[in-house]
Chains A and B, each alone.
Chain A
């Protein structure tokens, strides 16, 4: 099963390396959102530093919508989704492979944006370990939920507009938990960031498990 997961993930990442959609479109979009937040808050450095955790995760989630849509549309092109159905690959392997590729792309995006907020917003960092672990756990949650809802909407017309409506409410707990944990790591919120990290890890595991079980049925219905 692991080799099948790596087969799918490798294929998605190879396609992404060739097309450079994430690098040339998703990352610039996310950076633009960060800059716009800065304009909206009048470039007040103390305000920006205070709200950095929330602004950062909203930017990550908005950019993730584009990445999820891209991940789904890879299979739509010339009937590859049906090819996967007819292959010997287990649906859970397909789900996990696509999730791994999406998570890898989102991790890259999150790290670039992290550099962006540290430079643009001048946000301080008190606990680097908590910051990085929160990023990893939250991105896994976003990637797993995104892959699951992407499969749910595969083959649907108007998917571009329906995806945010369905996915954003699901990702609200990630934005809340990751913002609180980041707030603790950046010293802007008096809370226990490690317990929020635990919740994020639970969310990520839940969506990885649900996606692995449900993906087969979703592929059938697409």
Chain B
């Protein structure tokens, strides 16, 4: 079953075509690395798959839901960890985690498991988020996404700002998610790090998606 099915997708950011005819099929349980230069359209592709980006032309579905008409349903079934952490600076780490867990309908047990999974230091729970390092914020954002147990993970530079332990956690998150039947799309420049933990890679360049020999 195709979890991501995109056919000739065109996305405009203002007048600029961020994606100009992108086509991609990703099956359930598959993990795919998106590589490509800055500005190639990787983040736009992930936001599109998260239901956050309006499609100008083309057809597609995510988790069986139409990209034009069912973006609201799509958003509730995916976990996106992008450049922005979606955290409130004036709340503590614990308050942020509890707020977002309730907002995404995660149980306290699922949140606890996610906190354990991301190895977030419990002493940080009472620390305002604005005082966290970039890596700690990233771990917190990953924990929020993990708590909702998404069927499709969308990770945009997930290793950015993380220490070695955090990077290892992200790697195991990818392999464990696919082992559990979830699908993972990872946009990253750290090719040597991500290649061993994904099933295949595609290249995003000039708003197009290149696969197979073209992708290398």
Contacts and interface: CB of A to CB of B under 8 A. Distances in A.
Contact of A74 (B88, B99, B102, B104): B88
B86 A80 contact: yes
28 contacts: A7-B102, A7-B103, A11-B88, A11-B91, A14-B90, A14-B95, A18-B128, A77-B88, A78-B84, A78-B89, A79-B84, A80-B86, A80-B87, A82-B52, A83-B86, A83-B103, A83-B144, A84-B103, A85-B75, A86-B50, A86-B51, A86-B52, A86-B104, A87-B103, A87-B104, A88-B76, A88-B104, A88-B105
Contact of B90 (A15, A79, A84, A89): A15
Given A11-B99, A15-B91, A82 B84 contact: yes
B80 interface: yes
Interface in A128-153: none
B82 interface: yes
Interface in B192-212: none
Contacts of B99: 7, 11
A77 B51 CA distance: 21
Chain B, interface size category, equals 20 to 34
- Give the 5 A-B CB pairs with smallest separation, nearest first: A79-B84, A83-B86, A87-B103, A18-B90, A86-B75
Nearest to A89: B103
Contacts of B88: 11, 15, 74, 77-78, 80
A19 interface: yes
Contacts of A11: 88, 91, 95, 99
A14 B100 CA distance: 14
Contacts of A89: 103
The SS class assigned to the A binding surface is helix
Interface string A147-162: 0000000000000000
Contacts of A84: 103
B78 interface: yes
B10 to A, nearest CB: 19
Q: Is the interface of B mostly helix, strand, loop or mixed?
A: loop
Nearest to A20: B90
B85 interface: yes
B4 to A, nearest CB: 17
Contacts, number: 60
B185 to A, nearest CB: 15
B91 A78 contact: no
Nearest to A11: B99
Given A18-B128, A78-B85, A83 B91 contact: no
Interface of A: 7, 11, 14-15, 18-19, 74, 77-80, 82-89
A82 B104 contact: no
Given A7-B102, A14-B95, A18-B128, A86 B76 contact: yes
A78 B86 contact: yes
Given A11-B95, A86-B76, A86-B78, 20 more contacts: A7-B103, A15-B88, A74-B88, A78-B85, A78-B87, A78-B89, A80-B86, A80-B87, A80-B88, A82-B52, A82-B86, A86-B50, A86-B51, A86-B52, A86-B80, A87-B76, A87-B100, A87-B103, A88-B104, A88-B105
A189 B78 CA distance: 59
Interface in B39-97: 50-52, 75-76, 78, 80, 82, 84-91, 95
Nearest to A94: B103
Contacts of B95: 11, 14
Contact of B91 (A18, A86, A88): A18
Given A18-B128, A82-B84, A88 B89 contact: no
B84 A88 contact: no
A50 B75 CA distance: 55
A82 B75 CA distance: 10
A128 to B, nearest CB: 36
Contacts of A7: 99, 102-103
A88 B105 CA distance: 7
Nearest to A19: B90
Interface in B121-153: 128, 144
